[in-house]
Amino acid sequence: MPKQDLILLQDEGENWSVGFRCPCGCGDVIELLLLPDVKPRWDIKIDFRNRPTLSPSVWKTTGCRSHFWVRSGKILWVD
Ligand SMILES: [Zn+2]
């Protein structure tokens, strides 16, 4: 699995969104909102080694339809 280059956007210290290329290799950019008042939304945690964990899982409803978790910077695929 190639390293994920993950772009975290913040506004005044608040996590706003996170963007990264789909790990399946299709080339799509996935953008997830982290704000508290939007739906759907995700939580992100960055550990001391700068590895992201996202919850809930990411499920693309278009294109490649990839479904996966990001845990400590690793992609865990869901069938
Ligand atoms: Zn994909």
**Mind listing the pLDDT tens digit for each residue in 6-65?**
899 999 989 999 999 999 999 999 999 999 999 999 999 999 998 999 999 999 999 999
21 alpha carbon – ligand 1 mean position (Å) = 8
Cα(48) to centroid(ligand 1), Å:
28
pTM: 0.88
Q: Measured in angstroms, how far is the CA atom of residue 56 from the centroid of ligand 1? A: 17
Rounded distance between C-alpha atoms, residue 57 and residue 60, angstroms: 10
Residue-range domain boundaries for the chain: 7-77
23 CA to middle of ligand 1, Å? 6
DSSP count for the chain of H helices, then E strands: 0, 7
Sign of torsion over alpha carbons 7, 35, 58, 27: negative
